[in-house]
Chain A
Amino acid sequence: MITGRFFAAGADRRIAITIFILLAVAVIVPLLNLAISPASAFHIPSYMVALTGKYLCYALLALSLDLVWGYCGILSLGHGAFFALGGYAMGMYLMRQIGSRGVYGNPILPDFMVFLNYKELPWFWYGFDHFWFAGLMVLAVPGLLAFIFGWFAFRSRVTGVYLSIITQAMTYALLLAFFRNDMGFGGNNGLTDFKDILGFSVQADATRSALFAASAVMLALAVFVTWAIVGSKYGKLLMAVRDAESRTRFLGWRAENVKLFAFTVSAVMGGIAGALYVPQVGIINPGEFEPSNSIEVVIWAAVGGRGTIIGPIIGALLVNAGKSWFTGALPELWLFALGGLFVAVTLLLPKGIIGMWDDWRGNARALRAASLAEEARTAVGVASATSKPARSPARNPGEWSWSDPEPQAAE
Chain B
Amino acid sequence: MSKSNTILYLDGVSVSFDGFRAINNLSLVLDRGEMRAIIGPNGAGKTTMMDIVTGKTRPDDGEVFFDGEVDLTSHDEAEIAMMGIGRKFQKPTVFESHSIEENLMLALKGPRSIFPALFHRKSAAEARRIDDIIGVIRLGDKRREVAANLSHGQKQWLEIGMLLAQDPKLLLVDEPVAGMTDAETEETARLLKEIARDHSVIVVEHDMRFVRELGVKVTCLHEGSVLSEGTLDFVSADERVVEVYLGR
Contact = CB atoms under 8 A, between A and B. Distances in A.
B114 A257 contact: yes
B119 A251 contact: no
Given A257-B113, A257-B114, A261-B114, A248 B97 contact: no
B178 interface: no
A232 interface: yes
Contacts of B118: 229, 232-234
A385 B102 CA distance: 14
Given A233-B120, A236-B106, A240-B106, A252 B97 contact: no
Residue from A234, A381, A385 having most chain B Cβ neighbours under 10 A: A234
Interface in B87-144: 87, 89, 93-99, 101-102, 105-107, 112-114, 117-122, 144
Contacts of A236: 95, 98, 102, 105-106
Given A232-B117, A237-B106, A373 B162 contact: no
A381 to B, nearest CB: 7
A232 B106 contact: no
Contacts of A373: 97-98, 146
Majority SS of interface residues in chain B? mixed
A237 B97 contact: no
Contacts of A237: 106, 117
A130 B247 CA distance: 80
Interface string A220-252: 000000000100111011011001101111111
Majority SS of interface residues in chain A? helix
B78 interface: yes
A233 B126 CA distance: 13
Interface string B38-58: 000000000000000010000
Contacts of B29: none
B81 interface: yes
A371 interface: yes
Nearest to A240: B95
Contact of A232 (B93, B107, B119): B119
Residue from B77, B87, B120 having most chain A Cβ neighbours under 10 A: B77
Contacts of A250: 54, 77, 81, 86-87
Contacts of A133: none
A254 B82 CA distance: 11
16 contacts: A229-B118, A233-B105, A233-B106, A233-B117, A233-B120, A234-B114, A234-B117, A236-B102, A237-B106, A243-B97, A248-B106, A250-B54, A250-B81, A250-B87, A251-B107, A253-B112
